[in-house]
Amino acid sequence: MLSYRHAFHAGNFADVLKHLIQVDILSYLQQKDKPFVYIDTHSGAGLYSFNSEEAEKNAEYETGITRLKARPVAGCEDYLQVVAQVKPEYDRSSISPDSLYPGSPRIAQIMLREQDRAQLFELHPQDHQRLDELMRRDRRITVSKSDGFKGLVAALPPKERRGLVLIDPPYEVKSDYDTVVSTLEKAHRRFATGIYALWYPVVDRARIEQMVQGLKKTGIPRIQLFELGLSADTEGRGMTSSGMIVINPPWTLKNKMDELLPQLAERLGGEQGVWKSEELAGE
């Protein structure tokens, strides 16, 4: 269960979708002076190098952030600007910033204001250690070595009453698909005004459809779904697309994604690129 390492996939097309939406939501929350909380249930190590053995194994970043940087798509400026702000840990001058990619907790850290805070969960021993080292000097951020599903529910409702919850499990355990639904239902009961962003991989379309139907049955209102892929669904192994399900999305998000997703699909996947934008539940 703890074998998944995001270092193998950092900066790929799935990260582009996930972090583009994360940056957009955090930017939306920044529009008001009132503090917000950021909660990340499966944080990972927080910072990744494309020069690492893991990243170089499949070089997934080449069809993700590297391709987008080479030919930017209008509307991705804020996301690319955040990625460009990443610097080597502890000012290691021998590491080029261009070879680094921020995980979701590092993106949140860059975007947090003085009055905001973050609560990060990570169970993998090595990733937790790296994450803790990366964040320990920041008093706005708490890092916990615990189950993010349980930790999320226990952390709600937050004192801020505003915030983003990112749920990004590895889905190595098949029960994760059911767990995300039950966790979101519990979390929404405690923190109905929060924004929730659930990432998922498209490996088995039937399993995704089952998860989506489960979310619809909860009765939670205001749910949108966005997908980006390098190719259409296949019967073979491997992730062809990934998606983000957003509860209580900013009112501008869907229009923005309707415009961006076709361009991103073409830019990252060429003629085979695919995308999806759906309203799963209204008010």
Binding-site entries for S-adenosyl-L-methionine? 19, 42, 104, 122, 147-148, 168
Rounded CA-CA distance 151/8 in Å is 26
Distance, CA of 131 to chain centre: 16
168 is annotated as an active-site residue: yes
Catalytic residue among 24, 116, 168, 176: 168
Is residue 268 within 8 A of residue 62, CB to CB? The reply is: no
44 is written with which tokens?
């990972």
Beta strands in the chain (DSSP E): 37-40, 47-49, 100-102, 117-121, 141-144, 163-167, 195-202, 223-229, 241-247, 274-281
10 Å CB burial of residue 246 (0-12, 13-18, 19+) is buried
- Give Rg (Cα) of the chain: 18
Is residue 279 within 8 A of residue 258, CB to CB? The reply is: no
Closest CA to 13 of 239, 166, 224, 257: 239
10 Å CB burial of residue 279 (0-12, 13-18, 19+) is exposed
Among all residues, which ones are annotated catalytic? 168
